[in-house]
Amino acid sequence: MPFKDILVHLDATPQSGSRLDVAVSLAQRHGAHLSALHVVDLAIPLFASGDPGGGAAMAQIMTQVRNEALASAAAIEAGFRDRMRREGIAGEWRQAEGPLAETIALHARYADLAIIGQDDPDAAQPGATGLAGDVLFAAGRPVLVVPYAGHFAEIGRRVLVGWNASREAARAVNDALPLLTAAETVHVLAANPHRGPDGHGDVPGADIALHLARHGVKVTAEHRVAPDIPNAADLLLNEAADMSADLLVVGAYGHSRLREFILGGVTRTLMQQMTVPVLMSH
């Protein structure tokens, strides 16, 4: 079943245009409705709490911040609506005020796929997992994370699936089926697999490849053991480069600690070092 309802987060950063390009390409390919979400996050400046002017100074600061944010939002909205008209896509503009990650996650629950940007290491990030991680673990929907560097106008032709036989990986594969069935080639890589009761069969990766083949996916599979590369994320990124993949599909692992999600090692590495868009599910 194709994606019919896609959400993309747009903001004033240069990377926002790359996300919109990806979203437009997918919406055209799947005949999907495209919703753009812009969040006005009016975080209170920390320095204002100690201002001797008290409430009046705070109100003045917040009014200025809000006016600037709304002016920026209006420009982004105009660009989005113009793009929708030119591309002939059914689109919708959404603007909301509130905490950034929580607001995106809320809107993502009513979409088949949410498209957000990779966290920029030079920018401050909310929470222990950054924006991408916070949305991923709260949304309950697959999240397509677009790298902050590079341009990715079209994705999903050459797809790499990172398979570790986990619940998260199984969900990611299922969530990605609309892309996998349309891909020119899909390669499943079980990186440093451990045979046994963890879900891998006699030939790691073969079972999920057979399942995908039954859906008509043009799929190949392999498992690779590299003792000198213990982090499976590095193997996946190397393979993505070798096969010129334009999309990586993986399950995202994290666990709760003191009411915050802490990313697993592979997920954290991919979030930080991705070179192609990554579709993740939790």
pLDDT of residue 260: 44
25 and 107 co-located in one domain? yes
pTM to 2 decimal places: 0.89
Judge contact between 250 and 172, C-beta under 8 A: yes
Token pair, residue 230, equals: 């213990």
127 and 164 co-located in one domain? no
- Tens digits of per-residue pLDDT, 81-124? 999 999 999 999 999 999 999 999 999 999 999 999 998 877 65
Structural domain span for residue 100: 5-146
> Which of 112, 146, 180 is the endpoint of a domain?
146
> Which of 146, 178, 212 is the endpoint of a domain?
146
Mean pLDDT of 165-190: 96
pLDDT higher for 152 or 198?
152
**pLDDT band at 128, cuts 50/70/90?**
very low
Residue 250 phi, psi dihedral angles, 5° rounding: -145, 155
Number of domains composing the chain: 2
178 and 256 co-located in one domain? yes
Residue spans of beta strands (DSSP E) within the chain: 5-9, 33-40, 91-97, 113-117, 143-146, 158-162, 185-191, 219-224, 247-251, 254-257, 260-263, 278-281
138 and 231 co-located in one domain? no
- Tens digits of per-residue pLDDT, 187-230? 999 988 876 666 677 788 999 999 999 999 999 999 998 888 87
111 and 169 co-located in one domain? no
Judge contact between 115 and 9, C-beta under 8 A: yes
242 and 141 co-located in one domain? no
237 and 276 co-located in one domain? yes
Share of the chain above pLDDT 90, in %: 66
Judge contact between 18 and 146, C-beta under 8 A: yes
CATH code of the domain containing 167: 3.40.50.620
> Which of 93, 113, 146 is the endpoint of a domain?
146
169 and 139 co-located in one domain? no
68 and 178 co-located in one domain? no
Mean pLDDT of 157-183: 96
Reported residue count of the chain is 282
User: In the 3-class helix/strand/coil scheme, how is 152-178 assigned residue by residue?
Assistant: CCCCCCEEEEECCCCHHHHHHHHHCHH
178 and 137 co-located in one domain? no
54 and 165 co-located in one domain? no
Distance CA 17, CA 23 (A): 10
128 and 200 co-located in one domain? no
pLDDT higher for 198 or 157?
157
Report in angstroms the alpha-carbon separations of 104 from 25, 114, 137, 236: 21, 9, 12, 28
